[in-house]
Amino acid sequence: MTRYKLTIAYDGTKFHGFQRQNDLRTVQGVLEKALTKMTKGQHVDVVGSGRTDAGVHAFGQVIHFDYPGQMPAQNMLKAINSLMPLDVLVKDSAIVDENFHARFGVKRKTYQYRVDCGYYTDPFKRFYTGHYPYKISVDKIQTALKDLEGEHDFTSFAASGGVIENKVRTIYSATCVYNKNNDELVFEFTGNGFLYNMVRILVATLLEIGNGRRDVHDFLRLFEVKDRQEARGTAPASGLYLKEVFYD
């Protein structure tokens, strides 16, 4: 058995998320099907750095699996890519030792969130951005982002459905850039872990702050109240990208 670590990109539009589900098209499912073909029938478990929801994209999701047999990492990359549909791309491949674990070994993750600020929904962006056609102050958002950095209890920002008890996470950096060219806000969040729907809830809250419907420092209150109802909205899956996963 040889353990491979792959970095993959996918357009999440036509997937029912990352995680394998019976009869539904998922990223894990597509990868495991390809590996079963390569092993001529032997199932290979794929472990991802974490799940992504239906419609969520990835530039740099990381997975590992134990392959019965050995081939150079570049051959593995080519073999899997030749079996991938056009909406999944293996970008990098490495042979790692058995101590590497795509999920348990994660040190940091970076998510990106793209928001289209145009008045109408752009036909070319409908699957690739969230949409916020209202007045927005980037300054207010950037002030609020400073409150996010550091260690906080993110109970107010975790969708129900998560099974994790400890809701304390550390955000190392949280940024927002307005791109005049395409009228988009691009958020980036790097942290030691993210709760279920956390980035999408943070973005929805940030947009309300930018629009003036919340106090600029509302995050400080939301950390205190620990109440999901207080943060309200969830930005759509289409704007979210798992950008990079970091290990030791």
Binding residues for substrate are 111
Q: Which of 131, 197, 128 is nearest to 164 (CA)?
A: 197
What 3-state DSSP class applies to 229?
A: helix
- DSSP 8-state assignment for residue 162: B
Q: Record the tokens describing residue 48, joined without a space.
A: 């991802």
Check residue 122 for interaction with a second copy (CB under 8 A): yes
Check residue 75 for interaction with a second copy (CB under 8 A): no
Check residue 88 for interaction with a second copy (CB under 8 A): yes
153 counts as catalytic: no
Q: Record the tokens describing residue 1, joined without a space.
A: 């058995």
As a whole number of angstroms, the distance between CA 239 and CA 121 comes to: 13
Report whether 172 contacts 190 (CB < 8 A). yes
Considering only 80-88, 105-113, 159-167, 195-203, which stretch makes contact with a second copy by CB under 8 A? 80-88
Among 47, 89, 94, 106, binds a second copy (CB under 8 A): 89
As a whole number of angstroms, the distance between CA 153 and CA 169 comes to: 6
- By C-beta, is 124 or 172 nearer to a second copy? 124
Considering only 4-12, 32-40, 94-102, 185-193, which stretch makes contact with a second copy by CB under 8 A? 4-12
| 126-155 binders of a second copy (CB under 8 A) | 126, 128
Binding pattern to a second copy, positions 211-240, x when CB under 8 A?
------------------------------
- By C-beta, is 126 or 221 nearer to a second copy? 126
Residue 129 burial (C-beta neighbours within 10 Å; 0-12, 13-18, 19+): buried
As a whole number of angstroms, the distance between CA 60 and CA 112 comes to: 11
Nearest distance from residue 57's CB to a second copy, in Å?
7
User: Which amino acid type is present at position 137?
Assistant: S
Strand positions, DSSP E, the chain: 2-10, 47-48, 57-67, 88-96, 108-116, 130-131, 150-153, 168-179, 184-191, 240-246
Nearest distance from residue 59's CB to a second copy, in Å?
9
Catalytic residue, chosen from 53, 122, 153, 183, is 53
- By C-beta, is 104 or 120 nearer to a second copy? 120
Check residue 73 for interaction with a second copy (CB under 8 A): no
Q: What is the contact surface with a second copy in residues (CB under 8 A)?
A: 9-11, 57, 81, 86-89, 91, 120-124, 126, 128
Catalytic site positions: 53
